[in-house]
Structure 1
């Protein structure tokens, strides 16, 4: 049986998928009532599973009429993909963020499962046995090089 976080994540992804413009606006309290959970559970799901590295832009407006807007980043061409990756990676990247980018590209069918597994293995902290911040700098350079090689077909 799936936990509440997974159910909420799948629900939000389904609603996003059905949205014609790839954007949804939700009210945290209403969603918490729907899933019979505390509003902080909604925050947890959104902050951990709807990140830029995973291909989402999240905006929130607080207050009485507040909402949370979730937008799926659309990667239409290899140029926009490489631009997105360059902006996301920057000069250094941690393991979780690099895995998020790899996950997003695999989910969008831009890389194969085999390519994703090889990339995750090469970017792991066990393989990059360097001290921080050098490890994150090397990881960023390797990830950028791998993606340019794969996506510049």
Structure 2
């Protein structure tokens, strides 16, 4: 059975998909009321499920007329997607961040399911033998190498 976060995520994604511009503008309290949950649950879903790594940009305006706007980041090509991801890896990559990036690559059909599984396994295996403080840098370097390989494959 799906939990409330999964249901809210699905609802927000359906709004985004039905909009021509790929943007959903919501009022947190209205969505919370719809799902009979606390507004902080909506914040949690947006913060964890609508990240840059997953291909979303979020902006908000507080106050009485406030809103939360979730925009799907569209890329025009596989190369543009990979370049965008490579830029985001300059400061390292947490385990969650690398998973989100790989799932985005899979969702946008830049990699196959098999490639995604191999990437996830390879990144975690490479990082697990290093001290905690070094793992983010190792994950980022391994993922960058994999992404450069994808770009090279595409240009052949």
TM class by smaller structure:
over 0.9
* Counterpart for residue 86 of structure 2: 86
* Counterpart for residue 33 of structure 1: 33
Is the partner of 1:123 in helix, strand or coil?
Answer: helix
CA distance in 2, matches of 1:22, 1:45: 18
Is the partner of 1:53 in helix, strand or coil?
Answer: coil
* Structure 2 stretches lacking a partner, 5+ long: none
CA distance in 1, matches of 2:151, 2:27: 37
* Counterpart for residue 121 of structure 1: 121
CA distance in 1, matches of 2:117, 2:139: 15
Normalising by structure 2, we get a TM-score of 0.92
* Structure 1 stretches lacking a partner, 5+ long: none
* Counterpart for residue 97 of structure 2: 97
CA contact (8 A) 2:126 2:139 kept: no
CA contact (8 A) 2:106 2:113 kept: yes
Greater Cα offset, 103-112 or 132-141: 132-141
Greater Cα offset, 37-46 or 73-82: 73-82
Greater Cα offset, 81-90 or 115-124: 81-90
* Counterpart for residue 12 of structure 2: 12
Normalising by structure 1, we get a TM-score of 0.93
CA distance in 2, matches of 1:89, 1:61: 28
CA distance in 2, matches of 1:151, 1:8: 35
Note the C-alpha offset of 1:2. Answer: 1.4
